[in-house]
Amino acid sequence: MRPEPRRPRSNCLPWLGFILLFVCAPASMAKQPKCLFVSSYHQGYAWSDGVERGLRKTLQDKCHFRQFNMDTKRKKSLAEKRAAATAAKELIESWRPDVVITADDNAAKYLIQPYYRDKALPFVFCGVNWTADEYGFPYSNVTGMIEVAPVRAMIIEAKALVPRAGRVLYVGADTSTERKNADRTRKAALDLGLDFQQRFAGSMQAWIAAYRAGQSYDFIIVGSNAGINDWDNAKVFEAIKPVTEKLSVTSHGWMMPVTMLGMTKVPEEQGEWAGHVALEIMNGAAPDSIPVIANRKWDLFLNPELIDAAGLDLPAHLLSKGKVYRQNSP
């Protein structure tokens, strides 16, 4: 009896399984767009961390998210800033994101402006201080949110607390960003009839010395400490608490450990807005169809330990609205 001839084995079944797997794959397996976040600074810096939180919350599960930190608060030379921008550019060219979100001025100045003006790749910036005019924004491929502090409102509140105030001292880190902040603050102070002076510090001890000098003024405006590499909140607080007599105010939330009253920007707002705009762009919106806007949210903070140390009495409207900062807060 002859054996039956073998039937040729079909190669269709493996391919059929592959095709069914591909067709039936869940949406989560579909290719996601790529979102690159370029921060001018570093993780652990309070402002940048807040922007990142807002951005990640908005973009969660909506794109393949990657982050690059330029670290230009700690690497401050021109060569280091340019090198960080070059590294970011190399990542962009190799990873090929669908949209790039940047935070703060150095990413705008050293990355977007020299390399990506009116290019095909869309950018969404946030955290650019006061105005984007110096970078020529918007471009055809760039939109964003600028960062404006409630400086005038803060000074008006300080004057209400110190009715005969005439002289004010601004104390901040010795950085280009802080000099820009001081210039804007000076204009508001002069418009409100104040004699405005400023001191910039490159170290923690220099900042403490400037704060002590501020006790001879009517009140102190506390700028940012970003760029003071040896800063320690606990050490600064212990140094200034015994000498504190005059009101101090700030528009930076992370300066509340060493300031009495804060009217502060909300970094999460910047990240959330940038994330929503990035999603719009990935869904087909043109960047130049989305206008550049300023932030709209503020927080009011009080530091009762420093307020009590100076023996100041605050009005009821501040006590009822202000969020209390305490030194043992996380």
Residue 327: per-residue pLDDT: 65
Mean pLDDT of the chain: 90
Asked whether the beta carbons of 258 and 234 are under 8 A apart, the reply is no
pLDDT tens, residue by residue, 177-232: 899 899 999 999 999 999 999 999 999 999 999 999 999 999 999 999 988 999 99
Residue 31: per-residue pLDDT: 83
Whether residue 19 lies inside any domain: the answer is no
Residue 76: per-residue pLDDT: 86
Are 312 and 190 in the same domain?
Answer: yes
Q: Report the chain's C-alpha Rg in angstroms.
A: 26
Residue 130: per-residue pLDDT: 86
Are 316 and 250 in the same domain?
Answer: yes
- Burial grade of 168 (CB within 10 A; 0-12, 13-18, 19 or more): buried
Asked whether the beta carbons of 99 and 123 are under 8 A apart, the reply is yes
3-state class percentages of the chain: helix first, strand second, coil last, to nearest 5: 45, 20, 35
Q: Which domain holds residue 36?
A: 32-148+266-294
Res 38 pLDDT > 50:
yes
Res 325 pLDDT > 70:
yes
Are 54 and 181 in the same domain?
Answer: no
Are 258 and 211 in the same domain?
Answer: yes
For residues 145 and 292, give the distance between their C-alpha atoms in angstroms, rounded to a whole number: 6
Instruction: pLDDT band for 25, please (50, 70, 90 cuts).
Output: very low
Res 40 pLDDT > 80:
yes
Looking up residue 258, the CATH number of its domain turns out to be 3.40.50.2300
Res 30 pLDDT > 50:
yes
Rounded mean pLDDT of 41-69? Answer: 95
For residues 281 and 293, give the distance between their C-alpha atoms in angstroms, rounded to a whole number: 16
Rounded mean pLDDT of 307-321? Answer: 88
Residue 46: per-residue pLDDT: 86
- Alpha-carbon distance values, 289 to 195, 272, 277 (Å): 43, 19, 11
For residues 44 and 58, give the distance between their C-alpha atoms in angstroms, rounded to a whole number: 20
Rounded mean pLDDT of 259-279? Answer: 95
* Domains identified in the chain, total number: 2
Residue 12: per-residue pLDDT: 44
For residues 219 and 203, give the distance between their C-alpha atoms in angstroms, rounded to a whole number: 22
- Burial grade of 118 (CB within 10 A; 0-12, 13-18, 19 or more): exposed
